[in-house]
Structure 1
Amino acid sequence: MRAIAITLTLALATLLLSLDYHFPSGGSFAYYVTRWEEIGVPNLVSAILAGWRAYDSLGEASLLFTAVVGFYVLLGGKKK
């Protein structure tokens, strides 16, 4: 079980480190107002929600996963 937890943690860390975190010049408002069609969403509000909420949800899911695995490992895993 620990090998699976370590493998999943490393896979998640690799995914998060491979994301593009560059800061667009002009701020996020100017970026979304001028390029919202690039996201492939029909309107500006949905483009902002799709762009930012995806990162937020990924962060929440990884935090919950880390907490569950941490408690499992801390409590000794499955008893024999």
Structure 2
Amino acid sequence: MKRLVGVLLSSALLLELLGLDYAKVSGGSYAYYLAHWHEVGIPNLVTAILADWRGYDSLGEATLLFAAATGFYLLLGGKWK
């Protein structure tokens, strides 16, 4: 059962990664930040990037790491104590 859950989690993660849009943004990220930083409602560009866009990025990275670690733990037959 644990291996099945691990395989399902790993498969779901793989499908999610394959479904992402990796198209390049025209003008690069700097141009995007300059054009949209007022939407955050913070008067400083650097603070807006750290508080808004990088916050979502860090949350996504932590979720991805947790899902990968849990999936591999279950695939290796780990036991909950």
TM-score if structure 2 supplies the norm length?
Answer: 0.60
Q: Structure 1 residue runs of 4+, over 4 Å off?
A: none
TM-score if structure 1 supplies the norm length?
Answer: 0.60
Q: Trace 1:1-80 onto structure 2 (pairs within 5 A).
A: 1-37=2-38, 40-43=39-42, 44=45, 45-46=47-48, 48-49=49-50, 50-74=52-76, 76-78=77-79
Provide the alpha-carbon RMSD of the alignment: 2.7
> Taking every aligned residue pair, what percent have the same amino acid on both sides?
36
Unpaired segments of 5 or more residues in structure 2?
none
Query: Which protein, 1 or 2, shows the higher relative CO under an 8 Å CA cutoff with sep ≥ 6?
Result: 2
Unpaired segments of 5 or more residues in structure 1?
none
Pick closer, same or farther for the CA change 1:71–1:12 going to 2, 3 Å: closer
Asked whether the 8 Å contact 2:5–2:71 carries over to 1, the reply is no
Number of corresponding residues:
75
